[in-house]
Amino acid sequence: MAEQSTRWLLVGTGDIVRKRVGAALAPHLVGVCGGRERAEAIAGEPGATEVFDDLDRALRETSADAVYVATPVHRHRSESLAAVSAGKHVLIEKPLGIDGDDAQQIHDAAASAGVTAGCAYYRRCSPRFAHLAQLLESDALGRIVMVRLCFWSWFRPAADDPKLWRVDPALSGGGPLADMASHMFDLVIALFGLPRSVSANCATLAHDYAAEDTASAIMTLQHGAQLAASIGWSSRTWRHEFEVIGTEGKVLWSPADAGKVTITMGRDIEEMVLPSAENVHQPLVDDFETAIAAGRPPIVPLEDAVATNRVLDAIYESSRSRRAVEL
């Protein structure tokens, strides 16, 4: 655990809060803002004493010096701008904004205010990411020629499901591309930089909601490597993989988050177990607190989160226009 005594105000009481974020903030959580009943329940577990149902009042009265924004994506910009305007450091759930311009406004406001600001792409904190980054740094895999991303599952929320907002692009920014693939695109940006071009096809094939449920994309990365992604909420099967292929070797995460890491060098195959933290948000929060104390950027600075939103924009634009989009 980080030793800094950052005091947190948690904005939001939804699924991600109850699963992981509330527990990650618990040691330094002083307040919760959201629906009164849920906010009181979340605050009560770690003994936080400040409960609000109005963000403006929360920002005026809280003793917190950092805000975690864990609300649906369409609220990120207004709530983050309010937190930054109040002089608070801010850590924001992903994707950062509804689109790249939305995300850019958050970045610019935080930069102008001089506060620490980051986005919750927590997979950068995983041991498997550090291991892959080291292999790339040492050129152990040779020249990278291909990156392969895959995520498939089934998601059809009922009309009364609290997660229904995730299939409305006006509220979420998109379907599985914004929800799950954004995590994988963030890793690509961290490892290889912003892709040069995108060609994509998005469709809604299995469901009746407005967001895409099936998508594929081909990208050209900065140094010429190709990327192939297949993403969907349209199969009752499940798969989640991240693979980097070079001239000398390749690394496969399958499943991407919790399975074995398979390293293939020529015809030699090695399997490694590189488990993530029990609460995968905890290292992200610890890093953010350390970043505040050290005056350095967090592990996922907002400029990278804006870049991820730009990639999503390019995918959707390519699909609409039926042409490649340059980034």
User: What pLDDT, on a 0 to 100 scale, did the predictor assign at position 190?
Assistant: 98
State pLDDT tens for residues 13-35.
999 999 999 999 999 999 999 99
Does residue 299 sit within a domain? no
Q: What is the pLDDT of residues 75-101, one digit of tens each?
A: 999 999 999 999 999 999 999 999 999
User: Residue 253 is part of a domain; what is its CATH number?
Assistant: 3.30.360.10
CA 149 to CA 128: how far, in whole Å?
15
pLDDT of residue 3 exceeding 80, the answer is no
Residue 222: per-residue pLDDT:
95
> What integer pLDDT is reported at residue 2 of this predicted model?
42
Average pLDDT score over the chain = 96
The predicted model gives 238-251 an average pLDDT of 98
Residue 219 lies in a domain: yes
Whether 264 is in a domain gets the answer yes
Indicate whether 87 and 187 sit together in one domain. no
Same domain for 140 and 272?
yes
> Residue 4: is its pLDDT beyond 90?
no
Q: What's the pLDDT at 113?
A: 98
Is residue 130 in some structural domain?
Answer: yes
For residue 259, what pLDDT is reported? 86
Query: 65 lies in which domain range?
Result: 8-121
Kindly report, residue by residue over 196-208, the tens digit of the pLDDT. Answer: 999 999 999 999 9
Predicted local distance difference test score (pLDDT) of residue 44: 93
* 1 within domain boundaries: no
Last residue of a domain, one of 87, 121, 155: 121
Q: Are residues 117 and 202 in the same domain?
A: no
| Residue 68 to residue 32: CA distance in whole angstroms | 10
Structural domains counted in the chain: 2
Q: Is the pLDDT of residue 105 over 80?
A: yes
Same domain, 179 and 275: yes
Asked if the structure places residue 115 within a domain, the reply is: yes
Query: For the purposes of burial, counting CB atoms within 10 Å of the CB of 103, is it exposed (0-12), middle (13-18) or buried (19 or more)?
Result: buried
Q: Hey, what amino acid is at 164?
A: L
Confidence at residue 227, expressed as pLDDT on a 0 to 100 scale: 98
Residue 19 is part of a domain; what is its CATH number? 3.40.50.720
Comparing CA positions, the residue from 132, 147, 148, 141 lying closest to residue 246 is 141
For the chain, the 3-state helix, strand and coil shares in percent, each to the nearest 5, are: 40, 25, 30
Answer whether residue 287 is part of any domain. Answer: no
Return the number of other C-beta atoms located less than 10 Å from residue 314's C-beta.
23
* Percentage of the chain modeled with pLDDT above 90: 98
**Pair 110, 127 in one domain:** no
Are 130 and 89 in a shared domain? no
Please report whether residue 131 resides in a domain: yes
pLDDT at 1 over 80: no
